[in-house]
Amino acid sequence: MPVTNPQQQSSKLIFYGLLLFLFGLVTGLIVPFFANPRMGLSAHMEGVMNGMFLIILGLLWKKLVLSATWLRTTYWLLLYGAFANFSAVILAAITGNGKMMPLAGGREGTDFTEALISFLLVTLALSMITVCIIVLTGFYKYIKQTASQ
Reduce the secondary structure of 46-103 to three states and give it as a string: HHHHHHHHHHHHHHHHHHCCCCHHHHHHHHHHHHHHHHHHHHHHHHHHHHCECCCCHH
Residue-wise pLDDT for 31-88, tens only, equals 999 999 999 999 999 999 999 999 999 999 999 999 999 999 999 999 999 999 999 9
